[in-house]
Every structure is written in C-alpha cells, then in structure tokens.
Chains A and B, each alone.
Chain A
Amino acid sequence: MSSRADLPILELSEVGFGYDRNASFISSLSCSILNGQFIGLLGANGSGKSTILKLASGILKPSTGQVTLWGKSLHQYRQKDRAKLISYLPQFLDMHIPFTVRELVSMGLYPYDILPDMTAEEAMELVGLRRKADIPIAQLSGGERRRAFIAMTLLQGSGLVLLDEPLVNLDIKFQLEIYRLLKELQKQKNISILMALHDMNFAMQFEAVMLIKQGSILGAGTPEEVLTKDTIRDAFDVDVTVRKQDSGEMIISYTRNTGERLQD
C-alpha cells in the first residue's frame, strides 16, 4: 500500500437527493472512497446503489451536502479534467450502438489530448477482444459487449472507476475474469473501484463492501463484518445462513423469504 493509502479520493458528505422535488430519496449520506480501495456496493433493488454511483460520478447533483474529489467540489472541475479522474460505466448500456469494438474502446481516450500509457489495442487485449476489434458491437454476445465497454472504461485511465452492475449477463467465468482483471489493475495502477453488484457470495471475495438500504448505509467494512444474518435480513428481506467453510471462505445460503414484500 502506498503512503497515500488512506487519503480519501472521493467523499460524499451529508449528501441529500430526491428524484421528486418533494420527497427525498437519500438524506444525509456520508461515505468516502480511499485511495486504492476496491469496494463492493450491495443492496436490494431500488436501495439506491445506482443513485449513489450517479451522485459520485457527477451525473446527478446532490440537493444538499457535497461531493468532493481530491478535496475539491466535483462540480467545480472542468468536464474533461473530471473525466480523467473518474470514469463511470452505467448498468444499462445501449447495445445497439453502431460502432465496432475498436471504435468504442478508442472513445476512452476522448478526455485526453495526448495519448496516455495504454493503447486501444492493449485495452482490447486485456478484455480478450483484440481478435474482434473490427466487429460491430451489435454482433457480439452480451458478455463480449460488456467487456468492450469495460475496456473503454479502463482505457479512460482514471484513478477512480465507478461500475454499476458490470457483471450482470456474464458467465461465471467472465465474472471471475473481469473481477480478477479489475483487481489486478487496482493493485498495479493503484486505482480505486466502487462497484455495484448483487451476488453476495461474489461480494465475499472483496476486501471491502458497503451495504445500502433505502439510501442509507447499513454497514461498511470487510464482508465478514458487514454481511451477517441480521444485516442481510434487514437489507434484502430474506433469511440466510452464513457459514464458514473449511477452506475459510464464507458461504451465504438463502433459506426462505420472510416478508410479504414479494406477495404484493
């Protein structure tokens, strides 16, 4: 770990936000992402994972409170400068775009006027799409499309990467590959990653997770600390058992759903 390890890159302080002017969805949320952290963001559908990522990326503006990037308010950055520091990959991507893999991946260089360390070829190599460079995105499989977008985000080369459910629609093999890839990059280039996901067993591999419910944080820390029987019931409304395997890995198994939420 570098000496800047515990410097906060991005800080949300007492952030409030509502999609509707009258009702606030998030009220007074505070958290920070430290340099080099790889955090998994967990929560039920509609708990506010995407909203938090959009607030962190600057797509949404908080109605109260502040988002700061390297100590300076996020909205004071010039757009291009901000894009060099944060990149964001939304959950819902338009897969009917007309571009080829190479064209898409190369767009990761748009914030730069000079060529950065990585080239589009290297980025495609990283996600295993180099051979498909000139094939239109629309002709790829779901997993390949996702990987192409991730290659673009990687090429953007920012120190903080926000990923909204990047593993959805991927085979377990690619889920693991992409996770390992991100993890390697995080170590090598000391980038920080905040990634929304909903597979709790997958989240067990993370060093840090954050559990969200209705726009506020239920817990943050190592998976073992955060993902307990009680917090999971609170966040997801399901009963689970959390067991430690002989190998030391944690396994969460779902027993039954408790509430009436699914019935109405």
Chain B
Amino acid sequence: MPSVKITLLIVVSLGIFFVSLFLGPTLISPFSPDPIEKEILFSIRMPRVIIAFLIGIALGTSGAVLQGILRNPLADPYVLGISSGAAFTAALSLLSGFYILGKFTLPLSAFAGACTASIMVGIFGWKRGNLLPERLLLAGIGLGFLFYSAMMLLVSISTSEGMRRTVLWIFGDLSMADWSVIPYGLVFIASGLGISLLRAKALNALILGDEMAHSLGFSVQKERLLLFISVALMTGASVSLGGTIGFIGLIIPHMVRFFVGANSRYVIPVSALCGGGFLSISDLIGKTLLSPMEIPAGIITALIGSPYFLYLLRRRDVFQG
C-alpha cells in the first residue's frame, strides 16, 4: 500500500475532525465565533469530537487485532465480555448511587469492570502456558453472558432512576464527553495502539497459525498475551469513555481489508483512522438529524455502516475463502 493512500487518509481524518467541530445542530463560523459559540466549540464540541475519535480508534484497532489473535472474522471487542464487565460495574455504580469519585466515578468503575473481565477471560483462556484462541472466545462469550445477566438483574430489581441512565449508557453515548476524562483515555488507548502497531508483524504471523508463528521466530504465548492486553486496554478505556458502541470493531477492519489488503501493518493504522473518522461522522449525524434531540452515535454507526458493508459483501468476497 503506497504511502500516498495513508497520507490521503490522514488528511481526510483531519478534515472530518474540523468539519465535526464547526458543523452540528447549527453551523459555527470558524472565523468569528461569539462568546456562546466559542464556549460551545471548546467545552462541548471539541472534547466530544476528540472522544469520538479516541473511541473509534480504540474499537477499530481492537477489532483488527482480535480478529487476528482469535483467528475469527466474527470477533469484535465486545465478544470477549470486556464490555459486559464494564457495563456491569457501571450499572452497579449508577444504581447504587455510589459517587465518591465525582465525575470520574462512572468511567473508573467501568474501566475497573473491563479490567476484571479481561483478567478473568485471560485466566479461563489460559491452558498449558498459552492463551488459546478458542478458549478465549468461549470464555469471553460465557463471561459476557454472566456479566450481562448480572447487570440485567441489577436493572430489573432497581427502583432508582439510574436504571434509564444505565440503559442509555449501554447504548453508547458521547454527550457526556468532558475534557477531564480525555487524558486518561488517551494514555490507555495510545498505549494499546502503540503495542498493536509495534507487534503488527507478530499478528500477521499469528494469523498463519501458532506453529508457523513459532517457526518465524515469535514467542506465540508472549505475543498473543501482549496483543490481548492491548485490546483489553483499548476496549476498557473506550467503554468507560462512551459506553458500548457497536459495529465499528466488527466491521471496520473488514472494510479496511477490502482496500488495503490483509497485512496487519496497514490494517491496524488504517482501521484506527477509519474507526475514529467514522464514529465522529456518525455522532455528527446523530446530533444534527433531529436537533435538538440527539440520537446515540452507536445507532447511527450501525444504520449507515451495515448497508454499506452488505453492499461490499455483494460486490466482493470479504472473507476470501
């Protein structure tokens, strides 16, 4: 893949970033904003666009990595139960009214849940000194159901208004975007992305199979564990920033493979950029379409993404085999 394409993609992403800033329920002129518009720009729109990009990057990358390490084209960041773990602890904190950490309570409890779920999935997926793809996948599905039903139990026995809040949160929602949570989200997502980019060759080798990866000089256990940790970091951080947003993690990597091939060294960065750009466009549409009402971005991603994906599927053979 020529670097021209990558450059083009970076330019387009930057373009989307600025378009999302100035377009919206109402157009803000970048040249002469009045004080209210300035406030809207800097304390409402900018953190929101940044968070949309961060979440999109995290989900696009995690999807690309997971489909590789689990050797399964249907894997997505939520299949490992990480999001259910996060949703459970988030619901716990919302419904119990536990609020000692102020506005960090929700993101931190969600992140704690994501970490707990990841560690549990890791333990169940571990056998004979190795993380086994099938075990990981099944453990993730099992734990996902467990956490999900625990959360539904909480919601159904709860009498607090936190219930509706919980449900909205599970749908994924970017309207809570706030500068204060960005630095910590950035740290986790950037380190996850960094690990994935550095280990892209190892990911390619793992896609060939464990024995081939060994023959090519990779420590299969170490590489899969590292990549799994990077996915857990990114997914956990993204869920805690904006709830669960579907579609991106599953479909974006497939779409990207259409255009740049399967080499993870391109699939990872391109999935990251496309995921980020796509989520911010979706959010832009979601908040503009029925303004002043808002439609959660996660619904828009699936509504525009799925038909396009089905169209590509008819045109070409995605899974190549």
Contact = CB atoms under 8 A, between A and B. Distances in A.
Interface of A: 54, 57-59, 79-84, 86-90, 93-100, 103-104, 107-108, 110-111, 136, 138-139, 153, 156
Given A90-B212, A99-B263, A103-B261, A79 B207 contact: no
Interface in B268-321: 319-321
Interface stretch (B40-48, B111-119, B214-222, B232-240): B214-222
B315 to A, nearest CB: 15
B320 A90 contact: no
B320 A83 contact: no
Contact of B214 (A58, A100, A103): A58
Given A99-B262, A138-B321, A139-B320, A93 B209 contact: yes
A81 B217 CA distance: 7
A90 B211 contact: yes
A174 B201 CA distance: 30
B218 A79 contact: yes
B211 A94 contact: no
B205 A107 contact: yes
Q: Is the interface of A mostly helix, strand, loop or mixed?
A: mixed
B224 interface: no
Contacts of B209: 90, 93-94
A74 to B, nearest CB: 12
Nearest to B71: A94
B216 A83 contact: yes
B208 interface: yes
Contact of B208 (A59, A84, A107, A136): A107
Contact of B207 (A54, A98, A138): A98
11 contacts: A57-B215, A59-B214, A81-B217, A83-B218, A97-B262, A98-B207, A98-B262, A99-B261, A136-B262, A138-B320, A139-B320
B211 A54 contact: yes
A79 B219 contact: yes
Interface string B198-212: 000100110111111
A96 B208 contact: no
A110 B215 CA distance: 10
Contacts of B321: 95-96, 98, 138
Interface string B178-204: 000000000000000000000001001
Nearest to B265: A103
Contact of B216 (A100, A108, A138): A108
Interface centre among B204, B216, B218 (most CB of A within 10 A): B216
A84 B217 contact: yes
Given A93-B212, A103-B263, A110 B217 contact: yes
Given A94-B208, A98-B207, A98-B320, A83 B262 contact: no
Contact of A100 (B205, B208, B217, B261): B261
Given A93-B209, A94-B71, A94-B209, A107 B216 contact: yes
B226 to A, nearest CB: 13
A222 B263 CA distance: 44
Contacts of A79: 214, 217-219
Given A83-B215, A90-B211, 6 more contacts: A94-B71, A94-B207, A97-B208, A103-B204, A107-B204, A138-B321
A89 B215 contact: yes
Nearest to A90: B211
A87 B208 CA distance: 14
A172 B81 CA distance: 49
A156 B211 contact: no
Interface centre among B205, B212, B218 (most CB of A within 10 A): B212
Contacts of A59: 210-211, 214-215
Nearest to A84: B217
Given A94-B209, A98-B207, A107-B204, A156 B320 contact: no
